[in-house]
Chains A and B, each alone.
Chain A
Amino acid sequence: MSRATRTALVRDDRTLYEAVAGTAVGLSGVAFVVGLTALLGLVGIDDPVAGVGLSVALGALLLALGASVVGFGMASRFGFVDAAPQPSAGIVAAVAFTAIWGAVGAAASGAAGVGTGGRLALGAVLGGTAFAATAFPREDVGSTAPAGALAVLCGLSLLTGLIAPGWERALDGYNATLFGDTVVPAVVLFASLVTGWSAAKAYGGFGARGRNVGAYVLIYLVVGSILAVLVGLVAFVAAKGLPGLFNGFSLGGSGLVSWPFLTSGAGLTAEVAGVFPALLGTIWLVAGAVLFAVPTGVGAAVFLSEYAEQGRFTGAVEVATNGLWSTPSIVFGLFGAAFLIPRFGNQKSLIAGMLTLGFMLLPLVLITSREAILAVPDEYRDASAALGVSKWQTVRSVVLPAAIPGVTTGVILGVGRIAGETAPILLTMGGGVLPAKSAAPDVLGSFRLSASPPFVSNPSLLEATSALPYQLYALITAGLSGNIQNPQEYAWGLALTLLLVVLAFYAVGIATRYYFRRKLHQ
């Protein structure tokens, strides 16, 4: 046992090399974030930074990053630093760099006006070189040189103004033009991703640890950008919709909240046009669909996984359910229009919409409940059976409680889909474009008992009702020109309300799931 060959478990002395590589990772991250904000249009690509345009500054940064990345590889290759590179950077990196450099070659020659043959040739030459440069040398060179060279190239083309903010290029063969203010951020994003990965590998000293750090950086940057896009989307709708949503909003002197956008209709008498009827319509619609689909879906799932003999029948049901879930919503809408409407008073109605969306939700509830039930360990069933407890009681007291979190996940996903559906309710539920407050469904208040069958009736369920997505659609097709003050603001407020309603349903679902998970595991 020679102690000398052991690697230390704790790396306490942070070398200069690591510090520089860490800084390079950080700067790549900065470049990535700036590229992303520019792509989303939050900063202009030619905004001045330190006396030069942003695009030029980013070019200089990329150039420096590229050069230092190459430097890391060389420092390791010629033994100036203590790293543990593997013999090769590996086939995945090699193929990736081949593709990237091949594309760069083709694009560059295209820009230089070479024909198709020339493009292919240059692409192949650059791609082949990149492959050789990645695959054949030791890992420290193979995973830095092609990456660094790419960043240097991108940096130079930004720095020299080869690709600049005003730049534009028509794509021959496509009816489209590329503009500098999207291409520059895209180039920056891409190059910084590559240098970030490469510098992270250097930071980790290559080898297994380096690959680990490299993968982390890649994943963080990509996940971060996805989150940024999501947040950007919500922020965009919120920014556009808030003025409409809070139109006339006030905290009354008596401590009462007055929120006319949510509590009034869009009738002529309303001071501030609001979305109350459609809001209530959407809430009832989703509630009705869930009330219909969850018991039936869970019941069917219990039957299929606990009682039915697993075989051809259950297999066929499974295929059919998956097919139903992928069925386009307009088809469900047509079914509702052709089958349900004639059975409910021959006009578009709330209940027809509820049932149509319920049918849409059913397959997903069934699929996820079935998965959740099958995932309940058999040990629980055995334990219960061995205590002399009947099958149904076992299902009810052990299996279903353990499956609830999974079922809830399914319902959450499904509600997200149906709450925003427009096509099916367009065909089955209708409602006005700008319904007055009196058009709001009063489901609870309209139950009537009668002495003859069917004993209860609810006229409110049988009336055409508006829902948020449908109203938005109807507003847009009507050209945003209703007799309300500011249709544009109204429509964005409506969109934001819809988003918030869906998020609220999510929140309810997630809270339910959290509650039951805690109960199961704590």
Chain B
Amino acid sequence: MSQTDAAEPVANRTDGQGVSTTAGETVEETRPEWTSYEAGGETKFAVDDLDVHYGDDHALKGVSMDIPERSVTALIGPSGCGKSTFLRCLNRMNDRIRAASVDGTVELDGEDVYQDGVDLVELRKRVGMVFQSPNPFPKSIRENVSYGPRKHGDIETGLLARLTGRAEPDREEALVERSLERAALWEEVSDRLDDNALGLSGGQQQRLCIARCLAVDPEVILMDEPASALDPIATSKIEDLIEDLAQDYTVVVVTHSMQQAARVSDQTAVFLTGGELVEYDDTEKIFENPESQRVEDYISGKFG
């Protein structure tokens, strides 16, 4: 089933003035479409009417949603529907893609991250990201994990620091161990921290990237399919980690696994092909009783 270009964009306003939508001629509406959702708790990210174009390609269409603090928000949807694109809007990594243009507002703690004069370095320190494909640096495992804190000057390890006695090898060691432990990688690599990270397996690299992100201690952690290359045991450890993180952090996680979304997330947003946010609600509601027929079809596997 496909959205034709003629279909009107879906207006998913969270401000209460929801407009009902047309979802393409081919879809037979048996129920009203979802209109809005007010998540509980403090809002961390307020996204309003977000549009992203890659050249002429309209990748995200008028997405609005509030992401509450200290919770897990799952993003699900078919491949190519714009989940990664949405995630990249939150820490402005889309700025790095030449063809991308972003309209709309994204507020982090009430501050628009797309206004002029935003310090991207500061923004990304607060909003960390784990990429869809693992991208460790060609450095040792230890250096990979401590890279962020070192560059931020949180840990001093340089020659000058060593000469002046300000180096903190113990603190670095502790940080590396803690981060790797949380990412469920410590046991596998504790005896080879000085080996090159490119020598790790795909799944290990994925967890290393999670550890590298945790070491920076951001407020928000964006994870793009963090368990795509992991076996069930590592996956469940990562899921535990995600739930655990939600105590202190705001976690947004993209996943292709419905079960995973259902297990770990507090609220779930469903994107469908064409870059629209079709439904966003408490995870339970999405998986048990979605408002939109299309979401139900997608979740039950009828929608490709």
Do A and B share a complex? yes
Inside 8 A of A303's CB, which chain B residues have their CB? none
- Bound together, the chains give a CA A383 to CA B136 distance in angstroms of 8
Q: Known contacts being A390-B121, A402-B138, A521-B196, is A397 close to B147, with CB within 8 Å? A: yes
- Bound together, the chains give a CA A386 to CA B84 distance in angstroms of 14
- Bound together, the chains give a CA A519 to CA B138 distance in angstroms of 8
Inside 8 A of A388's CB, which chain B residues have their CB? 121-126, 128, 148, 152, 216, 218
Partner of B152, one of A379, A389, A398: A389
Assess the B96–A383 pair: CB atoms within 8 A. no
Judged by a CB distance under 8 angstroms, whether B287 is at the interface is: no
Inside 8 A of B137's CB, which chain A residues have their CB? 380, 383-384, 398
Judged by a CB distance under 8 angstroms, whether A385 is at the interface is: yes
Please give me the residue from chain B that is nearest to A518 by CB atom: B196
Q: Mark B214-237, 1 if CB is under 8 A from A, else 0.
A: 001010000000000000000000
Assess the B93–A382 pair: CB atoms within 8 A. yes
- Bound together, the chains give a CA A377 to CA B135 distance in angstroms of 10
Q: Mark A370-411, 1 if CB is under 8 A from B, else 0.
A: 000000010111111111111001000110011000000000
- Bound together, the chains give a CA A387 to CA B126 distance in angstroms of 9
Inside 8 A of B198's CB, which chain A residues have their CB? 520-521
Judged by a CB distance under 8 angstroms, whether B151 is at the interface is: yes
Inside 8 A of B123's CB, which chain A residues have their CB? 388
Judged by a CB distance under 8 angstroms, whether A254 is at the interface is: no
- Bound together, the chains give a CA A377 to CA B218 distance in angstroms of 25
Inside 8 A of B131's CB, which chain A residues have their CB? 379, 382-383, 386
Partner of A379, one of B135, B139, B196, B199: B135
Judged by a CB distance under 8 angstroms, whether B255 is at the interface is: no
Inside 8 A of A521's CB, which chain B residues have their CB? 138, 196, 198
Q: Known contacts being A521-B138, A521-B196, is A387 close to B147, with CB within 8 Å? A: yes
Interface hits, B128-162 → A, CB 8 Å: 128-129, 131, 133, 135-139, 147-148, 151-152
**Interface size, chain A (Cβ < 8 Å):** 22
Please give me the residue from chain A that is nearest to B138 by CB atom: A520
- Bound together, the chains give a CA A398 to CA B151 distance in angstroms of 11
Please give me the residue from chain B that is nearest to A379 by CB atom: B135
**Interface size, chain B (Cβ < 8 Å):** 32
Judged by a CB distance under 8 angstroms, whether B64 is at the interface is: no
Residue among A379, A383, A393, A398 with the highest chain B CB neighbour number at 10 A: A383
Q: Mark A482-522, 1 if CB is under 8 A from B, else 0.
A: 00000000000000000000000000000000000001111
Q: How far is the CB of A305 from chain B (nearest CB, A)?
A: 15
Judged by a CB distance under 8 angstroms, whether B173 is at the interface is: no
Inside 8 A of A386's CB, which chain B residues have their CB? 91, 93, 124, 128-129, 131, 213
Inside 8 A of A385's CB, which chain B residues have their CB? 93, 96, 120, 124
DSSP majority for the B interface? helix
Residue among A382, A386, A398, A522 with the highest chain B CB neighbour number at 10 A: A386
Assess the A387–B135 pair: CB atoms within 8 A. no
Please give me the residue from chain A that is nearest to B93 by CB atom: A386
Assess the A387–B213 pair: CB atoms within 8 A. yes
Interface hits, B5-35 → A, CB 8 Å: none
Assess the B148–A387 pair: CB atoms within 8 A. yes
Judged by a CB distance under 8 angstroms, whether B195 is at the interface is: yes
Partner of B216, one of A380, A381, A387, A522: A387
Inside 8 A of A401's CB, which chain B residues have their CB? 138-139
Assess the A397–B151 pair: CB atoms within 8 A. yes
Judged by a CB distance under 8 angstroms, whether B207 is at the interface is: no
Judged by a CB distance under 8 angstroms, whether B294 is at the interface is: no
Assess the A522–B125 pair: CB atoms within 8 A. no
- Bound together, the chains give a CA A390 to CA B133 distance in angstroms of 22
Inside 8 A of A382's CB, which chain B residues have their CB? 93, 96, 131, 135
Assess the B124–A387 pair: CB atoms within 8 A. yes
Inside 8 A of B195's CB, which chain A residues have their CB? 522
Inside 8 A of B152's CB, which chain A residues have their CB? 388-389
Inside 8 A of B61's CB, which chain A residues have their CB? none
Known: A386-B93, A388-B125. 5 other contacts (CB 8 A): A382-B93, A387-B125, A387-B213, A388-B122, A388-B124
Q: Footprint of B on A, CB under 8 Å?
A: 377, 379-390, 393, 397-398, 401-402, 519-522
13 chain-A/chain-B pairs, Cβ below 8 angstroms? A382-B135, A383-B136, A384-B151, A386-B129, A387-B124, A387-B147, A387-B151, A387-B216, A389-B147, A401-B139, A520-B138, A521-B198, A522-B195
Q: Footprint of A on B, CB under 8 Å?
A: 91, 93, 96, 120-126, 128-129, 131, 133, 135-139, 147-148, 151-152, 195-196, 198-199, 209, 212-213, 216, 218
